[in-house]
Amino acid sequence: MISEQSDWIMRKFLGVSTHFVAAAVIALQSAWFAPVYAADTAPTVIRLAAPDNGLGGKEHFNGGVADVLVWRHLLEEEFKRDGINVEWHFFKAAGPAINEAFANKQIDFAFYGDLPAIIGQANGLQIKLLAATGRQGAAYLGVRSGVEVKSLQDLKGKTIAVFRGTIFHLSLVNALASVGMSERDLRIVNMDLAASTAALSTGRVDAVWGSSNLYELEDKGLAHVAFSTSDLGGVGAIQSVLVGSDAFVNSYPQITRRLLRVFLGGYDWMSEHSNRQIYLSEAARRSGFTQRQVDRMLGQVSFAETMKPDLDDSFIESLDKQVSLAKEMRLIRRSFSAVEWADQKTQQETKVLPRDDIVKAITQ
């Protein structure tokens, strides 16, 4: 970590001029990142990140266009002729781990939830909003055996596990607020998705507010899914985004547009109804979920609507609401305008580029 190296330098040269130390740190940082961000040259590597929602050590599964990019090696093929390597990094620890990777200059782009992206931007990560990747996604309430929950009000006083700082945390807060409740009405335990499902299966918590992996526990008879945000009329629905580091996007605008063109081509393919069963079948084969579980998660979802990449007024407005709520929850100290965060120019410039070749490459 650069911060650790900086601390070491300070200790090593204790007593030396702070100006000298600062110059040494800057020189060290410049040398460290030179292979990736050398001026006036193409990058040697593009590093992307996404949460990994798959089960049992299977291949990456995210439940969106990123899956198609990974499974079909679309970005690798796009940049192969330029000698640019493409690296994917998948994080079980989801958004907080991705923000840490951004802070440590280990990644250039990320597909992840809106809340961790908002937290990152508010805390100075310097990332640009390039596209929407998910809207009106579902969060799920898994309940341990022997506990009956039919409504949000039934959760009062119960021990609920949720991963703080993620889209599921914000989803829970929004859902509770819709019935006049707050986190104070529950006993909240902060756990990542893997730890929370383990705690639920052993009865250490009453319920988990999280992802569709809760269906696995239901199928094993270890818990049951009481309802999802879809059953609540969309209250507490989750959103996700594609962001890129300012350093990369500003240094390599053409490479960024090419990457975004491939992403938009992936969306074009997924939005065609004739391709949905192909995706659902491949998701079941690769993710570790059964076909029945995948169909319950995504079978009734309109990919054209929920994965629409446009940074349109409705999406920007919803992000502004999330920013306000995050500040109210004291997850961030300063608010910001989503429309100023969004890189509309890059998306508009990319949209006019042809991408039939991307759709064809996926279909083959």
Both 130 and 242 in a single domain?
yes
Q: Which of 1-15, 37-51, 90-104, 262-276 has the highest mean pLDDT?
A: 262-276
Residue spans of beta strands (DSSP E) within 164-261: 187-190, 207-210, 223-228, 238-245
pLDDT at residue 23, rounded to an integer: 37
pLDDT at residue 14, rounded to an integer: 32
Both 315 and 252 in a single domain?
yes
pLDDT at residue 2, rounded to an integer: 39
pLDDT tens digits along 205-229: 999 998 888 888 888 899 999 999 9
pLDDT at residue 59, rounded to an integer: 63
Bridge partners of 127? 245
Both 247 and 113 in a single domain?
yes
In angstroms, the Cα distances linking 362 to 23, 183, 216, 263 are 49, 44, 29, 12
Pairing mode of beta strands 187-190, 45-51: unpaired
Bridge partners of 111? 242
Both 172 and 88 in a single domain?
no
Look at residue 7 and tell me whether its pLDDT is greater than 80: no
pLDDT at residue 240, rounded to an integer: 94
Q: Strand order of the sheet with strand 127-137? A: 85-91, 45-51, 109-113, 238-245, 127-137
pLDDT at residue 12, rounded to an integer: 34
pLDDT at residue 268, rounded to an integer: 96
pLDDT band at 105 (very low <50, low <70, confident <90, very high): very high
Query: Is 121 domain-assigned?
Result: yes
pLDDT at residue 63, rounded to an integer: 78
pLDDT at residue 278, rounded to an integer: 92
Query: Is 335 domain-assigned?
Result: yes
pLDDT band at 1 (very low <50, low <70, confident <90, very high): very low
State CA 139 to chain mean position distance: 14
Look at residue 26 and tell me whether its pLDDT is greater than 50: no
Both 202 and 292 in a single domain?
no
> Which of 181, 200, 228 finishes a domain?
228
Query: Is 191 domain-assigned?
Result: yes
As for how many domains the chain has, the answer is 3
pLDDT tens digits along 119-171: 999 999 999 999 999 998 889 999 998 898 999 999 999 999 998 888 899 89
Give residues with Cβ within 8 angstroms of 321, minimum separation 6.
none
Query: Is 304 domain-assigned?
Result: no
Both 204 and 260 in a single domain?
no
Both 51 and 173 in a single domain?
no
- Among the ranges given (64-73, 179-188, 285-294), the one the predictor scored with the smallest mean pLDDT: 285-294
Query: Is 111 domain-assigned?
Result: yes
pLDDT at residue 291, rounded to an integer: 87
Look at residue 289 and tell me whether its pLDDT is greater than 90: no
Both 243 and 359 in a single domain?
yes
pLDDT at residue 165, rounded to an integer: 81
CB crowding 204-240: b at 16 or more within 10 Å, else e: ebbbbbbbbbbbbbbbeebbbbbbbbbebeebbbbbb
Query: Is 33 domain-assigned?
Result: no
CATH number for the domain that contains residue 162: 3.40.190.10
Mean pLDDT across the chain: 85
Identify residue 282 by its one-letter amino acid code: E
pLDDT at residue 54, rounded to an integer: 62
Give residues with Cβ within 8 angstroms of 259, minimum separation 6.
46, 75, 78, 109
pTM: 0.81
- Mean of pLDDT values over 332-348: 94
pLDDT at residue 58, rounded to an integer: 58
pLDDT band at 341 (very low <50, low <70, confident <90, very high): very high
pLDDT tens digits along 252-287: 999 999 999 999 999 999 999 899 899 998 888 887
Both 347 and 214 in a single domain?
no
- Among the ranges given (18-27, 64-73, 106-115, 261-270), the one the predictor scored with the smallest mean pLDDT: 18-27
pLDDT at residue 364, rounded to an integer: 74
pLDDT at residue 338, rounded to an integer: 96
pLDDT at residue 27, rounded to an integer: 37
Nearest to 57 by CA among 214, 289, 220: 289
Both 198 and 266 in a single domain?
no
pLDDT at residue 135, rounded to an integer: 92
Query: Is 40 domain-assigned?
Result: no
Both 248 and 280 in a single domain?
yes
More confident: 53 or 97: 97
Both 261 and 171 in a single domain?
no
pLDDT tens digits along 47-68: 999 987 766 555 677 778 999 9
Query: Is 35 domain-assigned?
Result: no
Containing structural domain, residue 18: 2-27
The secondary element (H helix, E strand) that includes residue 86 is: strand 85-91
> Which of 228, 253, 277 finishes a domain?
228
